[in-house]
Amino acid sequence: MKLLKDILYKVHIEAVRGTTDVTIGKIEFDSRKIQLNDAFVAIRGTLSDGHAFIDKAVDQGAIAVICEEFPERIVNGVTYIQVQSTHEALAFTAANYYDNPSDKLKLVGVTGTNGKTTIASLLYQMFKRAGYKVGLLSTVKILVDNNEFKATHTTPDSLTINYYLNEMAEAGCEFCFMEVSSHGIHQKRTEGLHFTGGIFTNLTHDHLDYHKTFAEYRDVKKSFFDNLPKTAFAISNVDDKNGMVMLQNTVAKKVTYAIKSYADYKAQILENQFSGLLLKINNNEVWTKLIGAFNAYNLLAIYATSVELGLESDEVLRLLSELESVSGRFQYFVSPGKITAVVDYAHTPDALENVLKTINDIRTKNEILITVVGCGGDRDKTKRPVMAKIASDLSNKVIFTSDNPRSEDPQVIIDEMEKGVEPQNFKKTLSILDRKQAIKTACQMAQPNDIIVIAGKGHETYQEIKGVRHDFDDMKIVKEFLNQLS
């Protein structure tokens, strides 16, 4: 129970009808969850507008309504608060309701197109191994020290974020590592949070269905760093052409990392094999279990962040060598028949190219590389032909299939992908709509020492077709088929 006037601290209020000197039970932005004496925040979403459900929320017992426009029906005894942005208001009220838990932790946000999950998850691993209590907010899962909870979004809504940050603070966590998506920044889900640091990974083609232009996508990412406080650090990959852009206007401590450019933290790849990477980081060699140049960047960002957070560099190097790969991120196994299967979340052109180039750098070229790939429905359509071109350029055989078609016709998605295949690659490709059958076909095509890449879904254990989620696990299915063939 909180006083309404207390949870409104920092909210940009334009008008009030009623009194703010009332006690509320909890905050909700879903009218179906409203109970007696709750506060309802009317959020304008992409599919529905919470303002249409104000009357329902009041009828169910809401004692306060936070909205951008007053409704026609004003009920006596209910306080109505008009604000500039209900997204922002939700973020501040949620933080205030839970007594600003981000102030009680060292919260580090990771943003960029690729690498967010790997960096946040491995930082969690790193600091757990160093003996700390740690929290994680990621695409794959939410962790409150050792307790695991299911994640539904890369960056959850403000209520969920602050609820779990409060749980972390109550559990005695000292650190929390959090993925920060462009959607989350744009929808102000991270407003009201106190960040100790921010990390920029890279910026490539993604989410243009939402942001419309690459410049808008870049500027949304940049705004995260613009809003960091003076007490924070901003760590940026300056090998990426947008790396310095992220640091332009931040008042936080500017820290750079790179493999190709001059930077505060430098790495060199000495060996890149299926068994791992040998890196030289700031003139010290370290062997790691992760694979590929893209993971060299991830590991360098982890090293830089750990040192900036106060760990000794020698200790960080030792812990880097112990880190295990993240679920669905370049996860691989070798079957009894000597066929290597790699499952990766790569669902952007850059991520797919990274995975396939990494394999091509490692393999002897005597093996056949077979790639199974699709593109998600109801998402950025412009990347479909680009991903198909990359897959067919960098693989010996490609099978186009369904990813999560969602509400779209999966055949239409595949047709749009096929437009990116150049004539010299036509014979390399085939299309199999059913993802399970596509994986089975790849397994049947493979010979000993060949490599199968299954891209796009990674850690996901479902496939969404016509709005319904069906159980589906790429790694489980490919293991099953390859073990049957052995």
Q: What is the pLDDT of residues 152-185, one digit of tens each?
A: 776 789 999 999 999 999 999 999 999 999 889 9
Distance (Å, whole) CA 410 – CA 412: 5
Return the amino acid letter for 421: V
- Give the pLDDT of residue 325: 87
pLDDT digits (tens, 9 = 90+) for 332-371: 889 999 999 999 999 989 889 999 999 999 898 889 999 9
Q: What is the mean pLDDT of residues 431-452?
A: 97
Distance (Å, whole) CA 172 – CA 2: 23
- Give the pLDDT of residue 20: 97
Return the amino acid letter for 473: D
Distance (Å, whole) CA 452 – CA 445: 10
Coil, helix or strand at residue 246: helix
Q: Is the dihedral of CA 433, 435, 440, 445 positive or negative?
A: positive
What predicted TM-score, i.e. pTM, was given to this entire model?
A: 0.87
- Give the pLDDT of residue 211: 43
Half-sphere exposure of 162 (CA within 13 A, CB side): 25
Q: What is the mean pLDDT of residues 415-423?
A: 97
Distance (Å, whole) CA 338 – CA 207: 38
Cβ contact 383:375 at 8 Å: yes
Which whole-number Å values give the CA distances from 396 to 147, 360, 367, 383, 387, in the listed order?
A: 43, 11, 9, 21, 15
Please check the confidence at residue 210 and state whether its pLDDT lies above 60: no
Distance (Å, whole) CA 37 – CA 118: 41
